[in-house]
Structure formats: C-alpha cells, structure tokens
Amino acid sequence: MDDVPRRRNDSDGDLDLPRAGGKRTHRGSSDDDPDVARRKNEDTRRRGANHPTNDSDQDVARSNHKKGGMMGGGSGGLTSVTQLRRELDEKRRQESDLDKLASQYKNATAVFREKGTGKRIDKSKEFQEKAEKAEKRRQKEEKYNKWGKGLKQAELTAAAVADTLHESNKPLARYNDDEELEAMRKEEIRSEDPMAEYFARKKKKQTGDKPDRPTYRGPTPAPNRFNLMPGYRWDGLDRSNGFEKKFYEKQSNNEALKDEFYKWSVGDM
C-alpha cells in the first residue's frame, strides 16, 4: 500500500492550466457593489449638468441664429414694416451723428502739451519765438563778422566794388570832351606846377579841419615784409639785425635761379 503513488488533486491540476487572457476574476467585484454604482450615477449626472449635450448646444446655436442680424445692420428673416422703418431711422441718425463729428473736427488744430506738466503749447507762438531768435543770432553773427574783418577794410572794399561797377559802365573809348576825365585831370597835382603847394593846402582844407597824423617824409626806406613805413621821427639809420635784407636777397636769388632753370630746360627747343 505504501508503494502505490499518490494522485494529485484536481485543484492542483487546475493550477497548471493556462489562464484566459492572463486575467483573474474575483467574486464580489466593484460592479456588483451598490454604493459604487450609485457614485458612478451621481458623477454621470454631475458631468451632464456641467457639460450640456450636443442637442442642447444645437438648440442654443439655433436660437442665436434666429436672433442674429444681417451684415447691413437690419434684422434677418421676416421683419415688419414698423421695425424696418425704425432700423432705418436709427441708421440715419447714427450716420448724421458721425457726419456732425467729422464736420466739427475737420478743421480743428492739433493740441500739443508738455510731457511733464501737461501745459498747452502754442505752436504758432513757438515758431515765432524761434524765428526771432534766429534773426537775432544772424544779426549778431553779421556784426561780429564785420568787426572781426575791420570796419575800415569793409568800407574800402565797398568803395572799391562801387568804383569797379562804375568803371564797368563807362564806354570803352574816352575822348577829351569827357567831363569826368577832365575833372580828374584838374584835381591831379603835378610837381612841376608852381601852384602845386597852394592846391595841396587847399585840398587839405577841403578834406576837413581834422589834423592829420605826422608821417615820415625822409628818403625811401628799405622794403620790409609788411610794407610798413617808419615813424616820422626816424633819422634814416638802419638799426635792424639784417633779417629783412637777407629775406629779400633770398627771394631774389630763388627767382633768378628759377628763371635760369627755365631757360636751361627750353634751351634745346
């Protein structure tokens, strides 16, 4: 009896059978629990209240479509004459208000204000002040330029320009009967004229009683770079270090050398 092998129970053999889908079923799942089913129903009703169904969405869209209007502003669909007239009157009134606003602000000027204080800025006054400042600046610069160049030099330049214009208007040929030429000849003082001294004194009186500054009347002095005449007290003795004399000698030598080089360069021609 001990040699007879023991048989395995059926339950042990069931463990070796494959499970369908690898899933194990249990009794008394959550689907059979009434509390769990009640909670699911409550969640479903709550979601339905928060999110309306497609039918309710279509109804809302349909109602909105009925209430919508045309692109021109009128109501769509069948409209009574009274309502249509009321809509047209309202449209005309709005257009009239827009036309009034446009005509009111058509020629209005722009208002400019300060950034910090908000004070109104008058542009016309600002432009006028800028123009006045520019004119004052121009007059000031003109005055300083005139003073910087010299008043006497400016007068001499103006006189030279006027004389040049006057000479340019004269005829090319001048004859002895020319009155201006005859007056210029009469005013000229000649050294050989015995009345020269008398005419010199007369001309000096005519120029004015203002005494002239004394000038040098001695022998001709040596030339200098600035063409300055010596003082009226100069005795004619050269007390310089000889720089002016060397300067003019160097210039003369350069001119002579340049002339000699030019003659040498064109000698073969």
Over residues 176-205, the pLDDT tens digits come to 888 888 888 888 888 788 888 888 888 777
Which are the contacts of 245, defined by CB distance < 8 A and separation ≥ 6?
222
pLDDT digits (tens, 9 = 90+) for 140-160: 888 888 777 777 888 888 899
Average pLDDT value over all residues in the chain: 76
Of 251, 197, 187, 256, which is closest to residue 225 (Cα–Cα)?
251
3-class DSSP state of 236: coil
Element at 120 (helix H, strand E)? strand 120-121
pLDDT per residue as tens digits for the range 240-268: 899 999 999 999 999 999 999 999 988 87
Tokens 């689907």 correspond to: 31
For the chain, report the end-to-end CA distance as a whole number of angstroms: 160
**Chain segment 32-82, per-residue pLDDT in tens:** 566 666 776 676 666 655 554 444 455 444 544 444 455 555 566 677 888
Collapse the DSSP code of 112 into the 3-class scheme (helix H, G, I; strand E, B; otherwise coil) and give the result.
strand
- Asked if pLDDT for residue 3 goes beyond 60, the answer is no
